[in-house]
Amino acid sequence: MLGTFGSQTDLQALLKLRGGTTATVSRGDSVNGQTVVAIEDGRVALARNGTAHWLEMPAPTS
């Protein structure tokens, strides 16, 4: 996951996909056979077959 952006009522996420391509997704979109079920500031939830998991922004390095 590269980031989230937009208003709190219409957040979108920028994801880096296999092969190095990027995709902008909204809730309800399908990505690699998974459905975007939620987007919060800095994280996105993807679900497949009723099981969801969160992708989060990597922690900043110093």
pLDDT in tens, 11-56: 999 999 989 999 999 999 999 999 999 999 999 999 999 999 999 9
How many other C-beta atoms lie within 10 A of the C-beta of residue 36? 20
Contact 43, 57 (CB under 8 A): yes
pTM, full prediction: 0.86
Amino acid present at 32: N
Task: Write the CB contacts of 59 (distance below 8 Å, at least 6 apart in sequence).
Answer: none
User: Three-state SS for 42?
Assistant: coil
